[in-house]
């Protein structure tokens, strides 16, 4: 079983749609959680951190359920510019350092 | 504030050759980590350097090695290249201190092994 699992997609949605991505992680000792965005042939960039209380940044809402080891990202009112791959990332402290583990990513394509 | 820069951006090598990739960390950051991203996959952790020493390593063979210099820049060296080493190699810098590590990635070095 992979340490971080995501639905690879692609999710093809029209502009204005609401889309949700899910992510599960296997290690209950995971400490921090993030969503990164990666455009085609570019580097990953931090989209938002994920907190147990849930957090929102404009059209983006992230949720964490530690009991179920599940993370979600909701995008409302999708824009063409949201088309990208969304990477779920968990961190855990192991061997004296913080180790970041990436999921394989979920691809989103927003069409007119 | 300068970001993370990597060089070269693209390179082509043949099996058995050696390659060195370079990374300059973002100003104020003291930790550099390297990731390998194969097509259609998420980045896979190779290793991390802090205070010029490797302090974490993923599941990569010893032919993957690295260095960190006093100015926090870093190199990734891969010996005896194999076809499966073809990938985007990403360098990320961060500040090791209090709080969660937030990585800033460079644009990557795309390696093709023929």
Q: What is the DSSP string of A71-106?
A: EEEEE-S--GGG-EEEEEEEEEEETTEEEEEE---E
Mean pLDDT of B13-23: 98
pLDDT at B94: 87
Instruction: Report residue A83 as tokens.
Output: 């088309």
Please enumerate in sequence order all residues whose Cβ is within 8 A of that of A67, keeping only pairs 6 or more positions apart, or say none.
none
> Taking a C-beta distance cutoff of 8 angstroms, is the pair A21, A106 a contact?
yes
B101 with A103: Cβ contact below 8 A: no
Question: Is the predicted pLDDT of residue A21 greater than 70, yes or no?
Answer: yes
Residue of A nearest to B110 (CA): A41
B86, B56 contact by CB (below 8 A): no
Q: How confident is the model at residue A93 (pLDDT cuts 50, 70, 90)?
A: confident
Percentage of chain B lying above the pLDDT 90 cut: 78
pLDDT given for residue A1 in this prediction: 76
Cα B104 to Cα A44, A47, B29: the distances in Å are 8, 12, 9
Question: Which residue in the set A31, A43, A96 is minimally distant from B108, CB to CB?
Answer: A43
CA distance B40 to chain A (A): 7
Residue B100 predicted with pLDDT over 90? no
pLDDT at B101: 66
């Amino acid at each position: 079983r992979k340490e971080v699992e995501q639905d690879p997609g692609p999710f093809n949605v029209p502009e204005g749609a609401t889309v949700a991505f899910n992510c599960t992680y296997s290690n209950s000792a995971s400490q921090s959680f993030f969503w990164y965005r990666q455009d085609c042939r570019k580097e990953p960039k931090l989209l938002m951190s994920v907190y147990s209380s849930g957090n929102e940044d404009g059209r983006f809402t992230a949720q964490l359920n530690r009991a179920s080891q599940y993370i979600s990202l909701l995008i409302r009112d999708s824009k063409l510019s949201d088309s990208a791959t969304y990477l779920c990332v968990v961190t855990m402290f192991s061997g004296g350092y913080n180790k970041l583990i990436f999921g394989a990513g979920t691809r989103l394509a927003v069409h007119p | 504030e300068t970001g993370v820069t990597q060089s070269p951006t693209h390179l082509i090598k043949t099996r058995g050759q050696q390659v060195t990739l370079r990374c300059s960390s973002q100003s104020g950051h003291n930790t550099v980590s390297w990731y390998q991203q194969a097509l259609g996959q998420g980045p896979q952790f190779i290793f991390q350097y802090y205070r010029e020493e490797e302090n974490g390593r993923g599941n990569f063979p010893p032919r993957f090695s690295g260095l960190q210099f006093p100015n926090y820049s870093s190199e990734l060296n891969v010996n005896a290249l194999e076809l499966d080493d073809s990938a985007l190699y990403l360098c990320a810098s961060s500040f090791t201190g209090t709080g969660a590590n937030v990585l800033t990635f460079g644009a990557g070095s795309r390696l093709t092994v023929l």
